[in-house]
Amino acid sequence: MPGVGKSSLGKKLAQKLNWQWFDLDLLIEEKAAKSITNIFNEHGEAYFRNLEQTVLKESFAQTACVISCGGGIISYSTNMQMINEHGFSIYLSASTSFIKQRILQGKELRPLFKGLNEKEILQKISDLQDIRDPFYKQAHLEISIPQKDANALFYKALELIQKA
* DSSP H/E element including 28: helix 24-32
CATH assignment at residue 48: 3.40.50.300
Q: Is residue 163 part of a domain?
A: no
Check residue 155 and give its pLDDT. 77
With 0-12 / 13-18 / 19 or more C-beta atoms within 10 angstroms meaning exposed / middle / buried, residue 44 is exposed
Q: Is residue 164 part of a domain?
A: no
Number of domains into which the chain is organized: 1
Check residue 147 and give its pLDDT. 64
Q: Give the Cα separation of 154 and 123 in Å (integer).
A: 30
Peptide bond connecting 146 to the previous residue in cis, omega within 30 degrees of 0: yes
With 0-12 / 13-18 / 19 or more C-beta atoms within 10 angstroms meaning exposed / middle / buried, residue 112 is middle
Q: Is residue 148 part of a domain?
A: yes
* DSSP H/E element including 93: strand 90-93
Residues 130-155 have pLDDT tens digits of 999 999 999 998 888 776 666 776 77
Residue 21 — φ and ψ, nearest 5°?
A: -120, 135
User: Which residue segment(s) compose the domain that 113 sits in?
Assistant: 6-157
pLDDT(129) > 70? yes
Check residue 38 and give its pLDDT. 94
Check residue 20 and give its pLDDT. 95
Position 68 confidence tier, pLDDT thresholds 50, 70, 90: very high
The residue that leads in pLDDT, 60 or 157, is 60
Q: Is residue 1 part of a domain?
A: no
Residues 97-118 have pLDDT tens digits of 988 988 888 767 788 898 899 9
